[in-house]
Each structure stands twice: as structure tokens, then as C-alpha cells.
Amino acid sequence: MEATEEIILTPEGYELKKKKLEEYRRILYEELPKKLKVAKEHGAELRENKEYLDIKREQDYYEAEVRRLEELLEKAVILDESQISTKAVNIGTRVTLKDLKTNKTETFELVSPAEADPEQNKISTESPVGRALMGQHKGAEIQVETPRGVIRYKILAIQR
């Protein structure tokens, strides 16, 4: 990440990242040292001790994740939800779309890439659908190139 890169997070997203950081720190600084101690006690040459080596790899993973989350939270700008306009689609808005082929409706929340979670219908502003939606207004029809082909949507609602 560049030093000047700012990461916009919703208040909920910021709190989730903070909790994940706390959990990863707990694992890294409390659980893994205990596991390493036990693995060392199993004897054998450390470089041949599979349990010890697996825990060291796990430790490396959590160290990298802790650094990544610390950097992300340092650069985070928390979105002021009261400033979100519902006149046009933007980061922080919830958008109800109608698939013009299937007539199914879905609601998505547009978030920064750091907060994207498709399972929660939180899509990145940098995803194909997110990019196509940005700046659009209620009633607009958009066309999105996806791995499944071109999908046409109509924007039914924009909410905070």
C-alpha cells in the first residue's frame, strides 16, 4: 500500500477490522507461544519437528496479517454516514437492483475494497458492478460485463 493511500471504511467495517486485529494479536501473542513451547518439548531436532515448523508457519501468517490490519486501520478514514447522499450511488450507499433478464431484485452495499464481502452483499466500488453503479441515479439502467456475461440492471432504490 502506498503511504498516501487512504482507505474508506464504514463505522461497522472499521469495528470489524479492529476486532479481527485484536483476535489475531491474541492468537499471535498468547496462543502460538504456548503451542511453540509444547512443540519444542516434544524433542527432536527443531528443523525436523513437523509440529514446530507448522506452528512457525502459522505464526508467520498471523504476523503478516497483524501488520496488514495495523496499516489498514492506520490509513482508514471512517465514513460519516450522515454525509452520504442518496441522490446518486456512492460508497456507503445501499442499492436495490432489478436484473432486467430475470426480474430478480437484490440489494448491495457499496464499500471500499478492504471491506468487500460478497456473502454479505457488500460489493467493492472497484468491482465490475460497483464501478458501473458509481454516480448512477435511481431509475438508471446499467450494463455490466461479468464472468457470467453481460448483465443489465435497473436501479430501483438508493439508501443509506
Per-residue pLDDT of 2-59, as tens digits, reads 445 788 998 989 999 999 999 999 999 999 999 999 888 877 677 778 888 999 999 9
Domain boundaries, the chain: 7-78, 82-159
As given in the structure block, the three cell numbers for residue 10 are 464504514
The CA-based dihedral angle spanning residues 75, 76, 77, 79, taken in that order and rounded to the nearest 10 degrees:
170
Asked if 15 contacts 5 with a C-beta cutoff of 8 angstroms, the reply is: no
The predicted model scores a pTM of 0.77
Looking at domain 82-159, its CATH architecture is Roll (3.10)
- Please name the fold of domain 7-78: Helix Hairpins (1.10.287)
Report the pLDDT value the prediction gives residue 2, as an integer from 0 to 100.
Answer: 44
CA distance 150 to 144: 5
